[in-house]
Amino acid sequence: MKKGLIQVYTGDGKGKTTAALGLAIRAAGQGMKVIIIQFIKGDRTCGEHLFTAQYHPFEIVQLNTGDSFTQSLEELRSTTEQTLALAEKIILSGGYDVVILDEIFVAIVKGLVSTEQTLDLMSKKPEPMELVLTGRGAPREIIEQADLVTEMVAVKHPFTKGTTARKGLEY
């Protein structure tokens, strides 16, 4: 690629991480080097981790090993800071064609990463790299800096009727 873009997948609807994973598969299929760096997640038994462990199409890095739904902000703070530092190192290395920062906006909403830190990270992206940021609550300033923004809108979801997350479909 001559010029990589900055993509944002945000909104309250389902599909932000799923869209990023689809992009990762498409890019890897074309021989691109892809890495997904997951913020605010801690379940390594979800389908994408099992798939990449078996087939190795791209890397998924997740420093948090706890249950992010039950962890306190203080428990999340340390691994989130480490994840942000790793993301900066990966971006500055220029060694990847596609870098996906999955759920970084949740880290921003929780006050674990600042909008300014994220904008700084975006500004360091090498020109040929595609950078994808996902999560609910993308700040206006990041949306303005991005080249492509997709908002997932929740029109109807089975969770509202008590259906729980289903193996292979939601995780």
For 64-104, how does the pLDDT look when each residue is reduced to its tens digit (9 = 90+)? Answer: 877 777 777 888 899 999 999 999 999 999 999 999 999 99
Structure tokens belonging to residue 138:
């993308």
Map tokens 């909104």 to a residue.
11
* 168 within some domain: no
pLDDT at position 1 = 63
Q: Which domain holds residue 139?
A: 6-161
Structure tokens belonging to residue 96:
């990847």
pLDDT at position 66 = 72
CA distance 20 to 22: 5
**Domain CATH code at residue 62:** 3.40.50.300
* 55 within some domain: yes
* 34 within some domain: yes
- Closest C-alpha to 63, from 40, 45, 46, 47: 40
* 171 within some domain: no
Q: How many domains does the chain have?
A: 1
Residue 80 sits at the vertex; the CA angle it makes with 139 and 44, to the nearest 5 degrees, is 110
Spans in the chain with pLDDT lower than 70: 1
pLDDT at position 72 = 79
* 32 within some domain: yes
* 38 within some domain: yes
* 105 within some domain: yes
- Closest C-alpha to 16, from 133, 157, 114: 133
**What stretch of H or E contains 59?**
strand 59-61
Alpha-helical runs (H) found in the chain: 16-29, 47-55, 73-93, 104-109, 115-123, 140-145
